[in-house]
Structure 1
Amino acid sequence: VTQALREAGLESSNLILGIDFTKSNEWTGKVSFNNRSLHAIGDTPNPYEKAISIIGKTLAPFDEDNLIPCFGFGDATTHDTEVFSFHNDHSSCHGFEEVLACYRKIVPNLRLAGPTSYAPVIDVAVDIVENSGGQFHVLVIIADGQVTRSVNTSDRELSPQEESTINSIVNASLYPLSIVLVGVGDGPWDDMKKFDDKIPAREFDNFQFVNFTGIMSKNISLKEKETAFALAALMEIPLQYKAVIELGILGQRTGKAKKVVARPPPVSYRRPTPAPPERMPSNVSSSSPADDQTQATCPICLTNTKDLAFNCGHT
């Protein structure tokens, strides 16, 4: 694969990382992660940490500047419409060690939510490509599940989340961007494998799915697993890069990319505590500034200050 990338003329690229924080992560580790949340932080790496580490080993050599923009989606602050950056100032992570460190800090401070849509993270990646002047990028999305479908959605219909994801993938084919979806957890992944077929005509085939759990569960050595993952993740990129060159979209700006502003990472919050029963002098505050700040950090109240009128009731 490395040789094929070189022969295609791809000496380096730029990585973008998206992490799925939807609520299904709480139960899709039943088989593959001993019935624990896939985002559980402990002494042993969880599936997301393993995937990030192996992606770092296998794909980082193709990252030109070792700066990796990282985003989360699907939590209680973003749902299926926005993303949050791993840093308050929207800066990139310096290498995969920092990616892992930020991930471990963020996880305890967020609430898993949903529904699942890959549109927001694809849109922010397109914006990054546009702002780079059309440099070639690879967006790696690590996720536990398929795009949300309602039980009321017929086989011939698309859910709103499927429709937005497909539209974003089609739009992304106007840019030098490859999209790799890495599946962690138990799945099922049947629909995701067929998802590519649901996508209408694109400028080039820019989307691929890799079953991380399937590769990691094989009875082979860790080195062989890492090699198999690298092969699966990179195998289509040489052809995609050639297509980008033939389309003449490398190094070009379209002027049409959505201006995406990522939210800051979720902040720590706790349930507000009732005021002490003693009467306080009217000129003395009943809570410290730190307490006031803590009470005002509910993700909902942060964006809707009017919800604080009768104190936060969202947590």
Structure 2
Amino acid sequence: THPTRHAGHKAKATRTTTTTSQHPNNMKVKLSLSARRLPNVAGLGKGTSDPFCVVTKLAEGASQPVVLGKTEVIKNTLSPDWTKVFVFDYELGHPVHIAISVYDEVRKGSNKAMGSAKFELGGILGAKGSVKAKKMKGGGTIFAHVEKYSGSGTLRLALQGIKLKNTEGMFNKSDPFYDVKRKVTGPSGDVWDVIYRSQHISNDLNPQWADSTIDLAALCGGKLEQHIQISVYDHEKSGKHVLMGEIETSVRELVAAKNSGPFTLRRKGKDKGKLAVNRADLIGMEDLSTQVAGMSLSGGASAPPLPMPVPVPVPVPAAAASGAGAYVPGSAPAYVPGIPASAPSAAAGSPTFVDYISGGCELNLCAAIDFTGSNGDPRKPGTLHYIHPDGSLNDYEKAIQAIGRILAKYDHDQKFPVLGFGAKYGGIVRHCFQAGATPEVDGVDGIVQAYRSVFRTGLIMSGPTVFTEVMQTAAAHAVSSQEEAKRNGKQAYTVLLILTDGAVSDVHATAECLKQISDSPMSVVIVGVGAADFSAMQFLDDCASHGTPDIAQFVEFNRHRHDRLALTAATLDEIPDQLVGYFSRKGVSPARAVHLDEEEVVVEPEEEEIDLSLAFGNDGEINVASGGHYNSSMNF
């Protein structure tokens, strides 16, 4: 999870920055940030740095970089936990690259840079616990955590301390402030995560703090009965604040407390004063606010030639059988379709793709590549399978890289099966064989290497174009993966990426096969490569019969060959709904969000310095002065 936030860092009121798009199927996520062991750049004799960070959305293509906002400044600490969150519209096929720049606030002079790091939003979400950490140049580590943003409204809260117990001795009075915390369950048990921190009030044991506005999604996920904690501290310039007392309560009880007596603050079992609720209103939830307001409380609280590709055992439908005698059934179970069920109607509070991914559901990628003769002689330049000696990518490789790199972010072990179809070995046409030397390869680069290795095996490119065997194989693999995940209390979903240069030879057999496997935990993405007429392939988007889930999507590569983002958007946009639809039909809810202790988060090494310069205006405005463009390694 987001590293546990501790008392000891001053923070302003929580604010939320939102970046939106107009896509109708987007999901909202929120980004929260923290840092550890930052370098102290305050200067000799000037104490400890006062860090804040700026979030910038990096530009791709013709777009411009945008500063999304900054966090609050936290005084005198090198390990800040910022409370401000940034809200984004999230879509699977639309990567969002951001730069996190950390500064030490300097009142008289220029803010001093402390470090920076780059993240991709989907990469954070797909990481274990939906948290990533990176080393920054100059020292320190930045932690980024992404979770679902439900937009549940806000809590307008005004609190007052009454006769607080002084912690400053006889001649001084405490400088109280309060934290509002949510309970987070991690591997080591429950911890309290700071969501909001008030300003401190100097020398006052009866402080009346200013109104605060707290996001309910961040505080309690919109669940008004969820336990929260309010802790009052004596502010210390050193950052080592002293606990004065605390209560455990809920939003519902806070709203009702306007009509009842104050809460009793306690520390180590002893009364430490009172905490009165002068205001607790639910904004954006007016009806519910009225409902709970009437309640009262009774109390408070590359290499030499490889061997011939290995045929893959596959259950082949009778309508698509071709050379079936070449296959020997293996230990992998055949896919047995279940009874199709219609998707449940959408309802408020229904689970989303983000819920499943946050709960640890993994997306398993399986690639299937067309080696039929219509692709042309791979030794001749200009043919679709030609391997360029200068290392540049052909269209098959571009599609593998673009789509694979996005899906790979959601697969923790980075192991991917690679299949081939349409090649002849030993006089037999194989419509499903293992590409590469191993059943699974490492990473997306491993998929490309497995693809290239097939041309060193003595294949004869043949035909016809048959998808059914690779689809059946992938479906069996998907079912097996989900069953294994289920035994371990987890979830798994497979995406089959088929790359082909032409239409299938038997449309009806393919449609029937899709119908048979439509109840498997799998989506089928078919990318047409080359200049063939793919009009006959459009049936794939419409072949789902009434009551049968639509799991297939066809995209023509040439329509997006100069725009990688458009390609990934077109191919992956339907997958979130298909994943949610499968688990909903099976009655499988998202698992509880995975929370990690800080030491469990894998810290990635520092990257090259970010080409980004920010300009800070006297009015507090921050703009991009130069740079800010994301340099993709993919050159379409």
TM-score normalised by the chain length of structure 1 = 0.65
CA distance in structure 2 between the aligned counterparts of 1:238 and 1:146, rounded to whole angstroms: 26
Structure 2: gaps of 5 or more residues:
1-25, 28-89, 93-147, 149-351, 484-491, 590-636
Aligned with residue 420 of structure 2, among 55, 68, 72: 72
CA distance in structure 2 between the aligned counterparts of 1:15 and 1:243, rounded to whole angstroms: 18
CA distance in structure 1 between the aligned counterparts of 2:584 and 2:428, rounded to whole angstroms: 37
Task: Identify the residue that residue 443 of structure 2 maps to in structure 1.
Answer: 95
CA distance in structure 1 between the aligned counterparts of 2:495 and 2:383, rounded to whole angstroms: 27
The structure with the largest strand share of the pair is 2
Report Cα offsets for 1:60-90 as digits up to 9, x if no partner.
21233211110000111397763111244x5
CA distance in structure 2 between the aligned counterparts of 1:250 and 1:178, rounded to whole angstroms: 17
Note if 1:206 corresponds to 2:206. Answer: no
- Displacement, 1:101? 1.5
Task: Identify the residue that residue 388 of structure 2 maps to in structure 1.
Answer: 42
CA RMSD of aligned residues (A): 2.6
Contact persistence 1:137–1:178 (CA under 8 A) = yes
CA distance in structure 1 between the aligned counterparts of 2:573 and 2:511, rounded to whole angstroms: 22
Report Cα offsets for 1:207-240 as digits up to 9, x if no partner.
00111111014xxxxxxx2211121111111211
Q: State percent identity of aligned pairs.
A: 31
Distance 1:133 1:199, change over 3 A: closer
Contact persistence 2:482–2:521 (CA under 8 A) = no
Aligned with residue 242 of structure 1, among 561, 575, 580: 580
- Displacement, 1:192? 1.0
CA distance in structure 1 between the aligned counterparts of 2:547 and 2:367, rounded to whole angstroms: 23
CA distance in structure 2 between the aligned counterparts of 1:249 and 1:115, rounded to whole angstroms: 40
Alignment of 1:3-14 (within 5 A): 3-4=90-91, 7-8=352-353, 9-11=355-357, 12-14=362-364
Note if 1:105 corresponds to 2:445. Answer: no
Distance 1:37 1:119, change over 3 A: same
- Displacement, 1:242? 1.8
Distance 1:48 1:41, change over 3 A: same
Report Cα offsets for 1:103-153 as digits up to 9, x if no partner.
2121243211010111011011011012213431110101111112xxxxx
Distance 1:241 1:206, change over 3 A: same
The structure with the largest helix share of the pair is 1
Secondary structure of residue in 2 paired with 1:76 = strand
Secondary structure of residue in 1 paired with 2:448 = helix
Task: Identify the residue that residue 116 of structure 1 maps to in structure 2.
Answer: 465
Note if 1:146 corresponds to 2:503. Answer: yes
- Displacement, 1:42? 2.2
Task: Identify the residue that residue 20 of structure 1 maps to in structure 2.
Answer: 370
Distance 1:202 1:167, change over 3 A: farther
CA distance in structure 1 between the aligned counterparts of 2:398 and 2:371, rounded to whole angstroms: 16
Task: Identify the residue that residue 85 of structure 1 maps to in structure 2.
Answer: 434
Task: Identify the residue that residue 518 of structure 2 maps to in structure 1.
Answer: 173
TM-score normalised by the chain length of structure 2 = 0.33
Secondary structure of residue in 2 paired with 1:180 = strand
Contact persistence 2:423–2:431 (CA under 8 A) = no
Contact persistence 1:180–1:208 (CA under 8 A) = yes
Count residues with an aligned counterpart.
Answer: 226
Distance 1:198 1:205, change over 3 A: closer
Distance 1:138 1:195, change over 3 A: closer
- Displacement, 1:250? 6.0
CA distance in structure 1 between the aligned counterparts of 2:432 and 2:588, rounded to whole angstroms: 26
